[in-house]
Amino acid sequence: MSNEDNEMDPRVFPIKPLSARQFLDFFPLGMSDEEKDELAAEMEQNVKDLQTVSEDERRFCEILESVGREGTVPFIHYLRINGFFTAPGSVVHHSNWKGGLINHSLKVYDYAMKFREEMLKADPALVGELKEESVAVASLLHDICKMDEYEIRADGSPAHKPTSVHIGGHGCKSVILALLHGYRLEEDEMLAIIWHMGASRIKDLKERTECEMAKKESALVRLIIKADHEAAIH
C-alpha cells in the first residue's frame, strides 16, 4: 500500500476544532451546564476580540515594532490579552470609550513627534535627548497602567476595574508593568512616563519638586508632559 493510500482524506474524515463549550466538557471543573455555557460564550467573545484588529491597534504595533527592541512581540501580546487595545482612556474625562486608551496614546505620539520637530528646530543640540525611538516609546506606553484601571461594561459604558492592583503612582505603574513584562526602558523614558502628567496635580511638595527637577534636566520629560496635555484637551 502506498503512502498516498495511508493518508487521511480530509473530505472523507473532516477534522473540526472543538468549540469552547465542547472543550469545557472534557474537564471536571465542578461547573453546571449553565456556568459552562456562560464561560464558553465569554471565551468565544475573547477570541473574536483578539482576531479583530483596529486601525489604531495596527498603527500602534507597527510603531512600537519599528523601534526594534528585543521582547516587543510578547510585550504587545501581553498588552493585547490584558485589554490595552479595547480599554477606555478614562471613566469621566477624555477618551472615555472603548478603544479610547490606545486612541489617546497615539494622539500623544503624534503631538510628541510634532513638538520634537519644533524643539529641534529651536535647539538642534537637543537631538541626543530627543531620540525618535525614545519619543515613540514614552508617548505610546505612558498610560498602559490604565488597562488595569478601567474597563468597558457590557452596556458599553466605562468603569473602574474592581480588581485593579495599586502599584505606586499613575506613571510609576506604567513603568513597572512594562519592565515586569520584559520591555526595556531607558532612564529618560522612565522619567518621562513617571512624570507625564506634570506637577500641577501633585500635592506633595517633595514629589512636585522632583517633577520640576526632572523637567529641568530632561527635554524628553518636558516633551511628553506637553504632548499628553495637548492630547487630553483636543
54, three cell numbers: 483596529
Radius of gyration of the chain (CA): 23
Please state, in angstroms and as integers, the Cα–Cα distance from residue 216 to each residue in 166, 191, 204, 212, 229, following that order: 29, 12, 19, 6, 18
pLDDT digits (tens, 9 = 90+) for 191-229: 999 999 988 777 888 888 998 999 999 999 999 999 999
Produce one character per residue of 32-63: b if its CB has 16 or more CB atoms within 10 Å, e if not.
eeeebeeebeeeeeeeeeeeeeeebbeebbeb
162, three cell numbers: 474592581
pLDDT digits (tens, 9 = 90+) for 14-49: 556 667 777 777 766 678 888 888 887 877 776 666
Question: Apex CA 89: angle with CA 86 and CA 94, to 5°?
Answer: 135
Report the pLDDT value the prediction gives residue 204, as an integer from 0 to 100: 84
Report the pLDDT value the prediction gives residue 1, as an integer from 0 to 100: 45
Which helix (H) or strand (E) is 175 found in, with range?
helix 170-180
68 phi, psi to nearest 5 deg: 80, 25
98 or 203, which is more confident? Answer: 98
pLDDT digits (tens, 9 = 90+) for 123-166: 999 999 999 999 999 999 999 999 999 888 888 899 998 877 77
Selection from 213, 232, 231 nearest residue 222 by Cα = 213
**For all residues of the chain together, what is the average pLDDT?**
87
Give the separation between CA 179 and CA 198, rounded to whole angstroms. Answer: 22
Pairing status of strand 150-152 against strand 158-160: antiparallel
Contact 137, 178 (CB under 8 A): no
